[in-house]
Copies of this chain bind each other. A is one copy, B any other.
């Protein structure tokens, strides 16, 4: 029973990592769509969100199976329920990548991000990708992820988010209202994506190692 439970848990973990990988690819393509006005990249994100949603349903289904067949208690139960929260976070990451892609597509072929915002948006995308990447390596090397590291990434994202607002609300902004509104919403999408990724990362470490990151 115990061994079976561990195997089930590992399978849940694998499904979650597949979701995280898909969510990472989605945000990468969304960023390409955004910064390179690449329509095909943007369309692939929109088209493939259904795959993330399907993985989400699989992960939920598997969790329900584990709960029903193994009736885990105490710490084991907590682990399984944690998996549901992670799945929810990862599903939202896919949605947020889709929001970025749709913003790029809506303005295509015009560039959404003006020159002076490119550095900050590029860095936000890099951090988003880095955090998502940590989730996908956790199965092979769970101890490689440290909570402090995730917090640092998250703090860096928050700094960039503030920097973005300083630029678009600053006296030198010359791109008008529409561009500022797009940039503000994009900033929020990346920031929320990173937030969900940090949550998911901490929880997956717990799921795989049984150790809580605090």
Residues of A that sit less than 8 Å from B by CB? 60, 63-64, 67-68, 71, 73-74, 77-78, 81, 84-85, 88, 165, 168-169, 173, 176-178, 180-181, 184-185, 188
Contacts and interface: CB of A to CB of B under 8 A. Distances in A.
Given A68-B73, A84-B84, 15 more contacts: A60-B81, A63-B81, A64-B77, A67-B67, A67-B77, A68-B77, A71-B71, A168-B181, A169-B178, A177-B180, A180-B180, A181-B181, A184-B184, A185-B188, A188-B188
A68 B77 CA distance: 7
Contact of A64 (B81, B165, B173): B81
A84 B86 CA distance: 12
Contacts of A88: 85, 88
Given A176-B177, A184-B181, A68 B74 contact: yes
7 contacts: A63-B81, A67-B77, A68-B77, A71-B71, A177-B180, A181-B181, A184-B185
B181 A169 contact: yes
Nearest to A78: B64
A211 to B, nearest CB: 19
A136 to B, nearest CB: 23
A32 B156 CA distance: 34
A207 to B, nearest CB: 16
